[in-house]
A and B are shown apart, each in its own frame.
Chain A
Amino acid sequence: MSTQPFRLPRGGRIDRARPHRFIFNGRAYSGYAGDTLAAALLANGIHLVGRSFKYHRPRGIVTAGVEEPNALVQLGVGARSEPNLRATQCELYDGLIATSQNCWPSLRFDLGAINDRLARFLPAGFYYKTFMWPPSAWMQYEHAIRRMAGLGTAPEERDSDRYDKRLVHCDVLVVGAGPAGLAAALAAGRTGARVILADEQVEFGGSLLSGSAEIDGRPALDWVARATAELDWMAEAKLLRRATVFGYYDHNYLAIVERVADHLANPGEREPRQRLWKVRARQVVLATGAIERPLIFRDNDRPGIMLAGAARAYAHRYAAVPGRRTVVFTNNDSAYAAALDLIEAGGPVTTLIDIRAEPQGELADAVRAHGVEVIGGSAIVATSGRHRVKGVEVMRLTPDGTGVAGPVKYRDCDVVCMSGGWTPAVHLFSQSRGTLAYDSTHGCFVPSRAAQATHVAGICNGAWTLAECLRQGFTAGTAAARAAGFVEVAAAAAPPAPEPTATPPRILWAVPSDRAGTTSKHFVDFQNDVTVADIQLAAREGYRSVEHVKRYTTSGMGTDQGKLGNIPALGVLSDVLAADLPSLGTTTFRPPYTPVSFGALTGRDIDALADPIRVTPMHDWHVANGAIFEDVGQWKRPHFYPRAGETMRAAVDREVTAARTAVGILDASTLGKIDIQGPDAVTLLNRIYTNGWTTLEAARCRYGLMLKDDGMVIDDGVTTRLAPDHFHMTTTTGNAARVLGWLEEWVQTEWPDLRVYMASVTEQWAVATLSGPRARDVLAAAGTDLDLAPTAFPSQSMRQGAVAGMPARVFRVSFTGELSYEVNVPARCGGALWEALIAAGAPFGITPYGTEAMHVLRAEKGFIIVGQETDGTVTPLDLGLDRLVSKTKDFIGKRALLRPDTQRSDRKQLVGLLTEDPNEVLPEGAQIVVERRPEPPMPMIGHVTSSYFSPTLGRSIALALIVGGRARHGETLCVPLLGKTVKVEVAESCFYDRDGARANG
């Protein structure tokens, strides 16, 4: 166990009374409660934490926050393991286990680093240029690339954690609890508005946690503590810590992921690991802060080179100094303040290099007073050190900043703190579709015009001093509350804070070097290894759009989404193209701001709660009798009922044969059922269905086809007239809700004058269908007061009476081609009815059959299934159902059947297919050609829609849609399959009992 040699003896917001042990890459270290993993590593002197994506260069911790590009780790083991986490955000807990990603076989000896020496063969667009052909090889390339790229490994075990979701409304959502956000929350909360304040960090304070600023003459953190306490007391304020607002969607809908238990070694049983907050806010205040930019100089990626603000945060907040000899390299004032903080905390700074000429003023004097060498008008032109920066070379910049000149100064160091200025975190503002304006002084985009009820405050709104942040925060909070209907009781004034006079930064996107060439790497995007040279290459190859350059170079396309590099990349591009930076625009900011786990997005909507499961009243019997189930929409339907040792094919053959020779019973409860009532019910049916309904007598049934107005079939089913103004419609199982919606749409929007009412009764009725020559015997044996004689109860009619002592509607309609009775009873009677029929049917060999046998039976008869024989491009004429299309009345879809396109003779038409080999069962979806040629292309003239082995016929049968199919009867066609060609003969679509005598007897 190491002793944290870089831990300062005092200070920091860590709890030295609570040491934590942790394991990084197999070695044990120690840290303290309050550390992040990155802070604890630095306290132990560890900078090298990963390898870069493309060149596998050694990489260190660059930032102290959400924008970290390098320090990605795989956290935890087993089911709770998670890849791609930023070490800068992982709170340390006792027993934490983390491993570096993107290195193989080990961090210090990394085979992929050979890529660094092959760099000139790996230019921008390399993957696109190299791995596109042949397409079949891509899978292999991708496998190798992914292994080399090492983007962590997804856990293979089931996620053992629980996740929660909450949907909340509030008056004012404040994003960010730095000085501006706290001020805004205070101002809004004091009006009594319902406020949510969300911050991604462990504690409130934002940038104030990492520095030594003062507010009102006292340490700023005192003010933070008072503000937080006041907010805590507000009944209507909700304070969310460890909560990242990652998406800003339409109508002020925002999404927050709260890491409830990620920081706990042993999460409680009752708490979720993470909670997703879905917030609908009347008003939003964005106080999202700013992200420091790196300087883009040669070899700026060595471990030990980090952002100045990050070094400041580690020293101040975590009492961990990044090194013993620090060089600062900056183009702006903030690095001076960082240097002073670093020195004060105990981290020595030796040299400060400023891109700006001869630094003057308070800050420069203060730094010099600490004995720091200040070199103005100069730049770092090279760095050395492989696993850790060892030194820098400094030269004078030419006046225009495009070159360097003069003697080279060498400075030894173990840390370089760089600052290229600050980029306001406008991600959420931009996601909300607010427009941005370019601030050329600071080289960044700032919010311009809000698109929603959005207010912006603080440095993300270009408030460059603490005092201005506080003022903007109070103003925004007050304005947001007022806009939400709340008025402040007492004017909230911002407390005073120092406002030092600032020297503007000098923007130099690519810092020149005395050495150019392909080995020179100025990194713009650390995570995706994009250099200035890559962007220059993209420009040379003709890319102009920033969106194209981004995709070509992959700049900004890592898991950090280019939080550090996007603006510098734009700057470099604008230099190369000699174009104004704002004229290039920015790439689109898209949610999420930081990666969100699938677990959080899914919440508890998994397993049984992922989608409702619908079962019929007979379900328990099916389970008890060994049914194998099939999902049909949300329904669980018996697919077949295998006996011990029986294959699916044997079971289905047995079930089909029983229905053809004795009697079968099917649970048809899932059939969609719609009750239609009203004086104009028959008018509605006449308009909705292709055939006529006026003449249908009460207690009679009729099959109907439903079209869209483009003439295409959308549903079919049997509808029965219960009374002159009362109908019972049935629909395809999966179509019930859609058909009800279809009827409602027409009645509400086109025909509001119709007096007709519809209600879904699918679940009110349980349905057992008896089908087969002995169906009548079974019904009689079950006991019924209905006269079952064919003359008294003919085909296509309905009778109401008692069956097995239960009130029933019995429909004599057939989907199998056999004598069939669909027995409908109230749902609560379903189980009893089923058992009664099974018992009564035993002497007749009653056999339950599932959906597979049902399909075989209907296919033998050539009956269609909507969604199988139809796909939204099939008309009744294509199906050969002209007899169902009324010539006399109008109906939805009629006019379209007369369009030239629907009248074509070469449309695909429904036919039957018989394979040359009677045992060959074609795959459904197989393509059909006239002849098989040695090579593609072969014109496809149709496809197989249904295909089964028919035990009744002792051979395979298929239905197909084929161009001009009806004129091809008797023709032989080909079905090319992998490794063989199957010859088929075009036949009638009805294979069995064409005159229908069996069902009508």
Chain B
Amino acid sequence: MLRIPCPYCGPRDETEFAYGGEAHIARPQNPATTTDADWADFLFMRKNPKGRHRERWMHARGCRQWFNVERDTVTHQIVTVYRMGEPPPETPR
């Protein structure tokens, strides 16, 4: 079980959190003028990397805040966490 450092509450067990999928997926600004292919890409296509992954988590059984996590999908190391709207911090590889 992961131990996730909530940027608002501090480290807590994974069971307190909900996973929200890949982070930084920009919703097209103007859906009406977005092509079917681009909209489908936005809806359905996600990265599935072996290694570093930026993803969203929500502290569902805590402060209920969404935030971003950079996690290594191989080692489960949590490289960094940062709040919604903040740019991803530079992280050493």
Chain A residues contacting B32 (CB-CB under 8 Å) are 890, 895
Q: Within 8 Å of chain B (Cβ to Cβ): is A899? A: yes
Chain B residues contacting A752 (CB-CB under 8 Å) are 84-85
B-contact 0/1 string along A353-371, CB 8 Å cutoff: 0000000000000000000
A-contact 0/1 string along B1-34, CB 8 Å cutoff: 1110000000001000010100000011001101
CB distance from B39 to the nearest CB of A (A): 5
Chain B residues contacting A521 (CB-CB under 8 Å) are none
B-contact 0/1 string along A873-913, CB 8 Å cutoff: 00000000000000000100011101110000000000000
Partner of B2, one of A250, A741, A750, A900: A250
Q: Within 8 Å of chain B (Cβ to Cβ): is A253? A: yes
Among residues of B, the one whose C-beta sits closest to the C-beta of A280 is B3
CB distance from B77 to the nearest CB of A (A): 9
Cα–Cα, bound, A403→B9 (Å): 68
Contact between B31 and A748, CB atoms less than 8 A apart: no
Chain A residues contacting B40 (CB-CB under 8 Å) are 899
| Contacting residues of chain B (34-76) with chain A, CB-CB under 8 angstroms | 34, 36, 39-40, 42-44, 56, 58, 60, 64-66, 75-76
CB distance from B35 to the nearest CB of A (A): 10
Partner of B75, one of A253, A451, A749, A896: A451
Among residues of B, the one whose C-beta sits closest to the C-beta of A167 is B13
Cα–Cα, bound, A249→B64 (Å): 26
Chain A residues contacting B13 (CB-CB under 8 Å) are 280
Among residues of B, the one whose C-beta sits closest to the C-beta of A737 is B60
Contact between B75 and A899, CB atoms less than 8 A apart: no
Q: Within 8 Å of chain B (Cβ to Cβ): is A709? A: yes
Cα–Cα, bound, A70→B72 (Å): 42
Q: Within 8 Å of chain B (Cβ to Cβ): is A835? A: no
Among residues of A, the one whose C-beta sits closest to the C-beta of B1 is A253
Q: Within 8 Å of chain B (Cβ to Cβ): is A414? A: no
Among residues of A, the one whose C-beta sits closest to the C-beta of B18 is A741
Partner of A741, one of B28, B43, B58, B75: B58
Central interface residue in A249, A251, A433, A899, by most chain B CB within 10 Å: A251
Cα–Cα, bound, A543→B58 (Å): 45
CB distance from B16 to the nearest CB of A (A): 12
Contact between A890 and B31, CB atoms less than 8 A apart: yes
CB distance from B92 to the nearest CB of A (A): 19
* A748-B60 contact, Cβ under 8 Å, with A249-B1, A280-B3, A433-B75: no
Chain B residues contacting A898 (CB-CB under 8 Å) are 36
Among residues of A, the one whose C-beta sits closest to the C-beta of B20 is A745
* A748-B39 contact, Cβ under 8 Å, with A251-B3, A280-B3, A451-B75: no
CB distance from B69 to the nearest CB of A (A): 13
CB distance from B86 to the nearest CB of A (A): 11
Contact between A749 and B43, CB atoms less than 8 A apart: no
Chain B residues contacting A451 (CB-CB under 8 Å) are 75
Cα–Cα, bound, A895→B66 (Å): 25
Contact between B39 and A749, CB atoms less than 8 A apart: no
Chain A residues contacting B58 (CB-CB under 8 Å) are 741, 744-745
Central interface residue in A249, A710, A749, A898, by most chain B CB within 10 Å: A749
CB distance from A367 to the nearest CB of B (A): 49
Chain A residues contacting B18 (CB-CB under 8 Å) are 741
Cα–Cα, bound, A748→B20 (Å): 13
Among residues of A, the one whose C-beta sits closest to the C-beta of B31 is A895
- Give the A interface residue count (CB, 8 A): 23
Contact between B84 and A748, CB atoms less than 8 A apart: yes
Contact between B36 and A748, CB atoms less than 8 A apart: no
* A745-B3 contact, Cβ under 8 Å, with A250-B76, A251-B76, A752-B85: no
Central interface residue in B34, B43, B84, B85, by most chain A CB within 10 Å: B43
Among residues of B, the one whose C-beta sits closest to the C-beta of A252 is B3
CB distance from A429 to the nearest CB of B (A): 15
Among residues of A, the one whose C-beta sits closest to the C-beta of B74 is A433
Chain A residues contacting B60 (CB-CB under 8 Å) are 741
* A744-B43 contact, Cβ under 8 Å, with A253-B1, A752-B85, A899-B36: no
B-contact 0/1 string along A269-284, CB 8 Å cutoff: 0000000000010000
Contact between B84 and A250, CB atoms less than 8 A apart: no
Among residues of B, the one whose C-beta sits closest to the C-beta of A752 is B85
Chain B residues contacting A745 (CB-CB under 8 Å) are 20, 58, 66
Chain B residues contacting A250 (CB-CB under 8 Å) are 1-2, 76
Cα–Cα, bound, A251→B36 (Å): 42
Among residues of B, the one whose C-beta sits closest to the C-beta of A744 is B64
B-contact 0/1 string along A808-832, CB 8 Å cutoff: 0000000000000000000000000
Among residues of A, the one whose C-beta sits closest to the C-beta of B3 is A251
CB distance from A253 to the nearest CB of B (A): 5
| Contacting residues of chain A (723-745) with chain B, CB-CB under 8 angstroms | 741, 744-745
* A748-B65 contact, Cβ under 8 Å, with A433-B75, A710-B43: yes
Cα–Cα, bound, A895→B85 (Å): 25
Contact between B1 and A748, CB atoms less than 8 A apart: no
Contact between A895 and B39, CB atoms less than 8 A apart: yes
CB distance from B57 to the nearest CB of A (A): 11
A249-B1, A251-B2, A451-B75 are known contacts; what are 11 more A-B pairs with Cβ within 8 Å? A250-B76, A251-B3, A280-B13, A741-B18, A744-B64, A744-B66, A749-B84, A890-B32, A895-B28, A895-B31, A898-B36
Chain B residues near A (Cβ < 8 Å): 1-3, 13, 18, 20, 27-28, 31-32, 34, 36, 39-40, 42-44, 56, 58, 60, 64-66, 75-76, 84-85
18 A-B residue contacts at CB 8 Å? A251-B76, A280-B13, A451-B75, A741-B18, A741-B58, A744-B58, A745-B20, A745-B58, A749-B56, A750-B27, A890-B32, A894-B31, A895-B32, A895-B39, A896-B43, A899-B36, A899-B39, A900-B36
